[in-house]
Structure 1
């Protein structure tokens, strides 16, 4: 059986990581990641994941706050 000739194309870049935890939204800017140029999939190395967990679990003080609107989706 022939497999498709598909080559993943990733780029090292900085991304914004968002997470909802205990009813709060957390945003971490400038996170290093490998991003697939075709799908947008983001891959993080183990050290980056550990640092993200450390920032969130130890509740480090944020560099700044933002205010954002929230909308309800209704059909």
Structure 2
């Protein structure tokens, strides 16, 4: 089963595996949202969109539809 950034739980960390570069805004790429980088879900806004993440030591708000296009592998389970 392929996991996406949209499926990450609050506090979980993951490694970005892949995405379709045509569907990801250039600004996210510039901020380090690239394969191999670690990402952590910090918070989810009311109604589930947007997601507030940290990637490459930057805090980023990302739309849910964009998060669904980024495949990940979880590296740390949520211990909240």
User: Shorter-chain TM-score: which interval?
Assistant: under 0.3
Q: Please, what TM-score do these two structures have when normalized by structure 1?
A: 0.24
**Greater helix share, structure number:** 2
Q: Please, what TM-score do these two structures have when normalized by structure 2?
A: 0.24
**Greater strand share, structure number:** 2
Higher relative contact order at CA 8 Å, sep ≥6: structure 1 or structure 2? 2
